[in-house]
Structures are given as C-alpha cells and as structure tokens.
Chain A
Amino acid sequence: MSRSQILSKIRETTDNLKEKAAYPDYDTSVMHSAVKLTEPDLWKSFSANFKAVNGRAMDCVAQLIEFLDGNNQRTGYCDPDLFDSIGSQLVAAGLTVETSYDRDRYDDYQFGITRATGAIAESGSLIIDDFKTSQRLAALSPWVHVGVLKKDEILRTIPDAITAFGDAPNIIWCTGPSKTADVEGILIEGVHGPGEQIALLV
C-alpha cells in the first residue's frame, strides 16, 4: 500500500511540473583529479596516492616479511591460492601462516593476506570483491591487511573503476586503514578494521 501511495504522491508533483530538468550531458572524465595522476606508471601513481592515505605499497614479499617481523605481527591468515607464492615464504621466515580462517578465533590473526581484485591509481584504493576474496573477515579482523595485486589490475581513475563493476554483487574500495576522527577531531587508525593496509604487488 505504501508503494502505490508514494508513487502516486510523487506523480502528483512531477506530472504538474512546468519543466522537467533533463539529464545533463557530461563526460565522467571531468571528475578526474589530474594532480593525482602525474606519473605515467600506474603502480607509481597508485603507490603515491596510497601512501598519502597512510597505506603501505610494497613490491616484494621480502619487504612484507620485514614489516611483519619488525612489528611483531607473526601469526596470520593467507588465502590458500596465495600460499605457494607468498605464504610459504613467510613460513620459511619463521612466521605462522594458516590457510583457513576460523571465525571463532577472529582475534588470533594478526595479519590477513587476501587477493585484491584491483586498485585505483587516482585515489589509492584497493578493490576487493567476493569473486577473488572469499573471506571478508580475513581482510577485516586482523590488524594488518595485505591486498595482493597484479600490475595489470590497476585502474587509472574512479570512473574507470565504476565501469569495471561488472555484475559483482559486492565490491568494496579500501582507501587506507580503517580510521576515525570522532573524538575531538583527532585521527586514530584501526577502529574496527585494519590499522595497517598494505598493497603487495606480485
């Protein structure tokens, strides 16, 4: 009943408008921020913009191991598909890596390594969907999230990333670590999600 009531109330107004505004003709490229895309290399642009939102861009597993080790983040989850290429190197370096995520122990994982679907160079965002990342919680509950990325998956602009939605029912762009400024406007990272957001290029 509400449905027909709402629609008929809208029509009472819209049918009597003297003039209805047309859909404006515009090119989405007007929304690009040119200053954020000065590097021709998309990984370089992405890295600079990701760093600006306090993300960490890394291009080799050794760098990741050094970071995790140095910050005493020694136990975590790794997507089974990434175990051979990444997880095994972590194990070899003495870290503990699990390839299944047990939600009852959500607080035990200090890091989570999952597959990113892509990235946006202009905004420094990691794109995650459920096709490639089947464990949402593994990208959320650990203090460190590592999104694994290939170079050809980096998109240039936000409009490009929107065009690439396809038919994935759930997509999330992560632009830096989870944060808040609710208390007196002071920036604090790691509110509910990760306090460290890492993009690892493979």
Chain B
Amino acid sequence: MPQLIDTYAREISDEKQHSVIDGSTKGTDKRYSVLFNDYEDPDSLRKLAGAIKDHTLHHLDEYLEKSEKALTDRGVNVHFASSDEDARQTILSILRQHEVTQLTKSKSMAAEEIHLNPFLIENGIDCLESDLGEFIIQLDGDEPSHIVKPIIHKNRRGIAETFLREGIAPDYNDDPETITRRARVHLREKYMTAEACITGANFVCSDTGRLALVTNEGNSRFGMAPNKLHIALVGIEKIIPKERDLSVFLNLLGRSATGQQLTVYTEFINGPKSENQPDGPEHMHVVFMDNGRTDVLASNCREILRCIRCSACQNVCPVYRQASGHAYRSVYGGPIGAVLSPILFGKRFPELADLPKASSLCGACNEVCPVDIPIPDLLLRLRDKAKREEVPSEGAIPMSPFATLATSPSLWRTAMTMSKAMNHLPIQVAPIKPLQDWLGQRSLPESHGGDFRKWLKERRG
C-alpha cells in the first residue's frame, strides 16, 4: 500500500522540503510581479484564455479533425492513440519502421504519463532525456516532482554525486555552472548521433496544424536540428482553435510558469523538411493521445482539461510546498494533480481518492491559474464522488459518533455540560487511538461547558 499524501508529507526530509519550498515560493513571486508589471488587468486575460479553452473542449471533435487535416495536408503523418499502450506501440512502430536505435527526447508530460522512456529502453531503443532536469531524473531512476522544474526536490550535492557515479563527470563538482557545462558536452554528442527526436507540444493550432513548443534550454531545437525524424506526442486537449490564440496562451504560459514573457526558445512546426524548409527532419509524425481525456471530458470535472501545464498552482499551493510532488503518487503533483490524476488514468480513482481531500480549499490555485480552472470546486466534486461511491477514507477518524452527538440537542447539551470536566482530565494520554491521532495535530482549547448556548438562550428570552 503506497503512502497516503499526509503520511508522506509528515515524513519528508527537511532538506527535500526546503528545496521544494524555496523553489515554489520563488516561482510564485516572479509570476506575480511579472504579470502585474506587464498588464493593467491580468485577471481578464486568464478569463479570456479559459473561455477559449472551454470553447475548444466543447467542439473538440471538430478541432481535432481540423488539426489532423491541416497537418496531413502539410506532409505530416498523423496517428491516434486511445490508451497509453496504444501510444507506446504507435511510437515504437514508427521508430522500428525508421530503424531507429538511438534518440533524444525533450521534456513532455504526456510522455511521462505513459512512461515512454523505460518502455523504449526495454525495447532496445536508447532513449535519452535532454532537458537538464529530466536528464538527471533519468540518471537517478527517479520521478519528476514538478511540472516545470522536475528536480525541484534535489540539490546540487546530490546531482554532483550522480554525475560522478554515472561517469558524466570525472570528479565531484557541485558548482551549478560546472554541472551544466558537463551536461552540455555530454548531450550535444548524443544529439549529433541520435536518429530521431521525440517531443511533446504545448499547443496545436487547428487552423494550420502548427505545433508550438517551448523550452528554455533549446534541447528540443538541438534534438531536431541534426536528425531525420521528429515524433510529437500530444494530448488531444492541447488543441486551440487558431494561430491568433497563441498570442493569449504564449503570453500567459511563460509568465505563469517561470515569470518570463516568453521562454527562450518558442518553436512553431507544421511540417517536415520541404522546399520551403531546407533544414530539419525529413519525416514528421504527430500522435494524438486520449489516455483518459475523453473520460475526463465526459465527467463533471472537464474544466481541468483547460490546463496548459504551467505549474503556477503547484508553486502557490501550501500543501504542495509542504508535501512535494512525489506525495501525489502520479506524474502530476499539486492541485492540478489532485484533480487530474485520480480521474485521468481511468481506474485510479479509488486508489488516489485521498488526493482531493489533501487541500484546505484556500483557493490560491484558482487565483493563479492562467486558464481560470476552478480547482477548489473540482476538488469538492471529487470528494463528493468519493462519498457517493463509498470510497473509505483511509486513515481518517470515524465521524459517526460526532454526527449522532451533533444531531441530538439533548445529547449535545449534556455533552457540553460534561465537557467542563475534561479540563481536569488527562485526555492527552487516554488510550483511544482516533483521539490520539486527532490530538496529535491540534490542541484542544479549554472548555467553557456550553456558556455560549446559555448566553444565547437567555438573550433570546
């Protein structure tokens, strides 16, 4: 049985927790100052973005077909994958068809979701992550704990040890610049010998099929520059109606994710090498993946499909900051993960039903969301789903005795009067487990024996 989110959070090491708190707090501060510096009314922009996404989702069949046609017309091979297994097999067969044995991959949450990397490696294809953070994750056999900063939970010392252990570096050096230079040397050699590049896509414009792809490091650009085959794995919810809508989404994505107006490299691709495009891959494949998205669309939480994976909700969330992304037991951590993970992968609902409960519903996630997803409402809908489906609440204190007490006025009155006696009883040491668990997280104020009730009653009379 994997650890529940609250147990995980309680047992996290101080070092890891500090890394997460530092990283996420910085993210929030930067986002806030940039948006408010650049726009008079940034709030209206995220409402607009939410409305464009809602419109797209409500007409997703049309936009998906339009994107397919636009890409096909420009010489791109378009594939569809219903499940994670379909997506993995589709990609593997494209790679086999082109006799690829070695490739680089730029960061893609869709690929994380289907664990593409280990699958390709098992099938004899040398698949190397080229984003610095993801590269380190791969070396460590770890999992990313943040959408934009996958190694937010790591520090330079651990990374320096990894580089030494894996032979990337000849000696231990934990200077971040040296770490980056060593990765640069190692990875560019791989780019040059790789036979394919796998990427995700941040947006697909259905009018021209153009994929928008953002990175800061330039890894997807370098991955695609020297070789012949580009495969993009894209969740079907990444579609937007028109190219003009990119102006809304690109402006919000960079600012929300890292506090940049634009990430360093913003690439737009809608076709392979041609007369118009003398450089770059000769073959381009796009794999549109469902993997549970149509189920989410059918659910009462469909707003979560507006998500553009910026991680602003993770950065701002008090629970995420304390617990770290790994506590969410899925590639998507934080508020977005608490909604998406239990419903996206179909059968993971009861298993991950504790995630929507791990929130104080403070609403910060909704406030920062660039597409205005009402995350707190969605968390409540999932809590309700758990209640309706009678999913037991692991580790929670049974509330039925309290319910009996609170619904019977005479019992309540007696209990109130009696409670004064508790001030003198050593309940902290009473051998009742649920009581101990409850008291372990809070201290009980002194009881006044129902003074308030008495006061109110007298006042009314």
Contact = CB atoms under 8 A, between A and B. Distances in A.
Contact of A21 (B54, B246, B248, B250): B54
B38 A35 contact: yes
Contacts of A174: 264-265
B156 interface: yes
Contacts of A36: 38, 261
A23 B52 contact: yes
A98 to B, nearest CB: 18
B361 interface: no
Contact of A130 (B74, B210, B264, B279): B279
A169 B270 contact: yes
B275 to A, nearest CB: 10
Interface residues of B, number: 94
Given A6-B82, A33-B39, A192 B219 contact: yes
B59 interface: yes
Interface stretch (B164-172, B174-182, B380-388, B415-423): B174-182
A168 B274 CA distance: 10
Interface in A88-146: 103, 106-107, 122-123, 125, 130-131, 133-137, 140-141
Interface stretch (A8-16, A39-47, A59-67, A70-78): A8-16
Nearest to B191: A192
B23 interface: yes
Contacts of A177: 264
Contacts of A35: 37-38
Contact of B58 (A20, A106, A159, A163): A20
B290 A9 contact: yes
B97 to A, nearest CB: 18
Contacts of A158: 247, 250-251, 262
B258 A181 contact: yes
Contacts, number: 239
B428 interface: no
A14 B59 contact: yes
A26 B48 contact: yes
A77 B238 CA distance: 38
Given A12-B298, A192-B188, A21 B58 contact: yes
Interface stretch (B110-118, B147-155, B438-446): B147-155
Interface stretch (B1-9, B119-127, B221-229, B389-397): B221-229
B184 interface: yes
B338 to A, nearest CB: 23
A3 B327 CA distance: 35
A132 B261 CA distance: 26
B350 interface: no
B104 to A, nearest CB: 10
Interface in A16-37: 17, 20-24, 26, 28, 30-31, 33, 35-36
Contacts of A191: 132, 180, 183-184, 216-219
A168 B82 contact: no
B51 interface: yes
B373 interface: no
Contacts of B86: 2
B263 interface: yes
Interface in B1-45: 19, 22-23, 26, 37-39, 44-45
B151 A183 contact: yes
Contact of B218 (A6, A23, A193): A193
Contacts of B360: none
Given A173-B262, A178-B264, A136 B217 contact: no
B217 A179 contact: yes
Nearest to A197: B264
B16 to A, nearest CB: 13
Interface stretch (B60-68, B403-411, B450-458): B60-68
Given A14-B60, A174-B265, A185-B149, A2 B297 contact: no
A125 to B, nearest CB: 6
B389 to A, nearest CB: 20
B218 A24 contact: no
Contacts of B151: 182-183
Residue among A1, A168, A192 with the most chain B CB within 10 A? A192
B244 A169 contact: no
A193 B279 contact: no
A3 B72 CA distance: 14
Contacts of B302: 13
Contacts of B156: 183-184
A73 B388 CA distance: 68
15 contacts: A6-B290, A9-B295, A13-B297, A14-B297, A17-B58, A21-B51, A28-B247, A30-B48, A53-B264, A163-B244, A169-B74, A169-B270, A181-B258, A183-B176, A190-B181
Interface of B: 19, 22-23, 26, 37-39, 44-45, 48, 51-52, 54-55, 58-61, 64-65, 74, 79-82, 86, 130-133, 136, 149-151, 155-156, 159, 176-177, 179-181, 183-184, 187-188, 191-192, 208, 210, 216-219, 221-222, 225-226, 236, 241, 243-244, 246-248, 250-251, 258, 260-272, 274, 276-280, 288, 290, 294-295, 297-298, 302
For the complex of A and B, 10 pairs with smallest distance between CB atoms: A193-B218, A169-B271, A9-B294, A182-B133, A33-B38, A191-B217, A3-B80, A2-B80, A178-B218, A183-B176
